[in-house]
Amino acid sequence: MNILIPTTYNKNPYVYQLVKALQKREEVNTVQTLVPWLFQNDYHFDIIHLQWPESIISKKFLDAKNIAYVSNSLSEWKHRGTKLVATIHNDMPHLDKSKKAYQFYSMIYEKCDGIHHMGENSRQVIHNNYTIDTSHITEIVIKHGNYDCFQNNISRSESRKNLSIPDNTLTVACIGTIRTKEEYWLLHKFRKALKKHSGILLHVGSINPPYGFLKRHLRRRALTSKKNYKHYGSYVEDNKIQLFLNACDIFLIPRVNSLNSGNVALGYTFGKLVVGPNFGVIGEELRYNENPVFKNTSQTEINSVLDEAVSLLNTEICIKNEKYAQNELDWNKLAAEYISFYHTLSKTNSTSNDKSNIAEHDI
């Protein structure tokens, strides 16, 4: 089986782990990831597994001509017998909610033979927002894999010493870019809630709420100047991720209305209690494993969910989370599910819903 996973996000640990797991399967001959393969016709792929559409055409170049170019390429692959699969990472690009982005996503889904969701809630969201022809498209739920690719050989005390955090200080860590005003204020509210517990909030990631240049700069300073908030820059090397996970007591998902977040699996991998929004697959996964969720971002709700999280720290929940990551989110297990899905799609006949004329998308 020859598989193409075309994406410019090749350094994303999710892509790395997916490719690595598939390459171990005896059914697989090759897995390619470079986007230019999508526009070649001198090689055969049995499966083209699309990830983030915006990794094929960036926002800067998203126009009718380029969408048509991708559409026609996908049509050509389908005519040659290749099966197209799309993984639902988000219902729309994080930084582009335009009509063009929606039309691009719609075109991708219309072309697909299979759609991969990371949770049942994803299926609901996508069906609410897009027209999915279930008579021609097969859907499956396969969970997000763990992050055992990251080093995990530094103790809690060593991590805290490295980050200059006292051993007895309640510590919440979060990793990720802050993209919205709601996410920005979420960090403020968790920081305020931590005062009651004399705790601190560690954050790795850019702070880019959609304010004007000056106001955004002032907002950053307003957050980073607080004594119980420690900002470690927009990026740290993969081998340093373990410092923040092993140093913290609680791992926060800094999202409000995002569909998925690999940080849930990341927290579970390191055996952490994880707190996040009661939304999308994030909320679905946290509820399933009985981790605390916040239903809204009021200060009262954040205070309550932090108190709940603190009360759970002396229970078995962290051990259960780690075992769940090792067993249910194991990449070898997930790769077997992907291969089974690919085989299912390969047995189906080419469908008649392929639309090679981009004009039908009314761009």
pLDDT in tens, 94-125: 878 899 999 999 999 999 999 999 999 999 99
pLDDT digits (tens, 9 = 90+) for 19-65: 999 999 999 999 999 999 999 988 999 999 999 999 999 999 999 99
- The SS3 assignment for 262 reads helix
Residue with token string 């004007």 = 212
What percent of the chain has a predicted confidence (pLDDT) above 70? 96
Residue with token string 């089974």 = 340
- Inter-helix orientation angle 299-312/181-195, to 10°: 60
- Asked whether 266 and 248 are in contact (CB, 8 A), the reply is no
7-11, 14-18, 222-226, 348-352: which has the minimum mean pLDDT?
Answer: 348-352
pLDDT digits (tens, 9 = 90+) for 255-282: 999 999 999 999 999 999 999 999 999 9
* Tokens encoding 41: 């016709």
C-alpha closest to that of 143 among 117, 124, 123, 122: 117
Give the angle subtended at the CA of 136 by the CAs of 123 and 107, to the nearest 5°.
70
Whether the pLDDT of residue 172 is over 60: the answer is yes
Whether the pLDDT of residue 238 is over 90: the answer is yes
End-to-end Cα separation, the chain, in angstroms? 35
pLDDT digits (tens, 9 = 90+) for 219-237: 999 999 999 999 999 999 9
Domains, the chain, ranges and CATH? 2-145+330-361 (3.40.50.2000), 156-326 (3.40.50.2000)
Distance of alpha carbon 90 from alpha carbon 176, whole angstroms: 15
Q: What is the dihedral of CA 191, 193, 195, 199, to 10 degrees?
A: -70
- Under the banding of pLDDT at 50, 70 and 90, the label for residue 363 is very low
39-43, 107-111, 181-185, 355-359: which has the minimum mean pLDDT?
Answer: 355-359
Cα–Cα distances in angstroms (integers) from residue 12 to residues 149, 174, 178, 194, 272, in the given order: 11, 18, 18, 31, 22
| CB neighbour list of residue 288: distance below 8 Å, 6 or more residues apart | none
DSSP 196-227: TTT-EEEEES-B--SS-HHHHHHHHHHHHTST
- Inter-helix orientation angle 181-195/213-224, to 10°: 20
